[in-house]
């Protein structure tokens, strides 16, 4: 896997919104090094696609578009530890920054969704954990990340409790993570040669955002 340090790729972004309608800048990583091809475990599919697989209780619509043609990420019958989904390197300069992800709760849920914040050069912290939820279907989970000094990533993992399990995620994003900038309205003098343009204004209004 390529070097994932933010100093080699980029220094982090304040905006990340992945609805899986097009490929997202995600990476996949197993916790154990002897696994192969982790990106083949999670598949970007539509509800129409998986309706043909004869799997009971699968999503009939995606979360972000709420249509059978909308796409989401699907994990089918994981017999080994599922790969961790990793966001790009991100930044937060706002205390109201939140991470959100939609997870699908099946009637017979045999696993746990876990999201973590992974700051560079620091230990991770768990921000979301959903196990045996009562609600069936898509559930949008949100948790505040707050202001972070260093670049960070969000990891999303499904831990299966047993040999077989299925999972689905959609609407993976961070929100309100950039600094709020207020507009400054004032005036600026325009130094113009009156001999060239006698009718030109000398002062004009200016709005800076």
Domain contains 193? no
Statement: the pTM of the whole predicted model exceeds 0.75: no
Segments forming the whole domain that contains residue 125: 16-175
Q: Which residues of 112-146 are buried (b: 16+ CB within 10 A; e: fewer)?
A: bbbbbbbeeeeeeeebbebeeeeeebbbebeeebe
Cα–Cα nearest to 49, from 36, 29, 68, 75: 68
CA angle 26, 120, 81 (to 5 degrees): 50
**Average pLDDT in the chain:** 76
Give the pLDDT confidence of 50-91 residue by residue, as tens digits: 988 888 888 999 999 999 999 999 987 655 567 789 999 999
Domain contains 77? yes
Split into its structural domains, the chain has a count of: 1
Distance of CA 198 to the CA centre of its chain: 56
What is the rounded distance in angstroms from the CA atom of residue 6 to the CA atom of residue 110?
35
Domain contains 87? yes
Domain contains 197? no
């Amino acid at each position: 896997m390529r070097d994932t340090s933010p100093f080699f790729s980029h220094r982090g972004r304040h905006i990340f919104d992945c609805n899986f309608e097009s490929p997202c800048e995600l990476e996949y990583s197993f916790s154990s090094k002897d696994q192969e091809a982790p990106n083949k475990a999670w598949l970007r599919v539509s509800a129409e696609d998986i309706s043909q697989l004869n799997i009971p209780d699968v999503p009939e619509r995606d979360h972000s578009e709420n249509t059978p043609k909308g796409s989401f990420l699907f994990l089918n019958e994981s017999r080994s530890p599922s790969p961790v989904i990793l966001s790009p390197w991100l930044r937060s300069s706002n205390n109201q920054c939140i991470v959100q992800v939609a997870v699908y709760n099946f009637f017979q849920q045999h696993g746990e969704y876990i999201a973590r914040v992974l700051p560079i050069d620091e230990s991770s912290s768990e921000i979301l954990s959903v196990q045996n939820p009562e609600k069936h279907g898509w559930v949008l989970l949100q948790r505040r990340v707050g202001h972070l000094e260093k670049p960070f990533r969000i990891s999303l993992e499904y831990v299966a409790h047993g040999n077989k399990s299925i999972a689905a995620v959609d609407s993976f994003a961070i929100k309100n993570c950039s600094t709020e900038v207020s507009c400054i309205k004032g005036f600026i003098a325009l130094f113009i040669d009156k001999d060239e343009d006698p009718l030109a204004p000398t002062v004009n209004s200016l709005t800076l955002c």
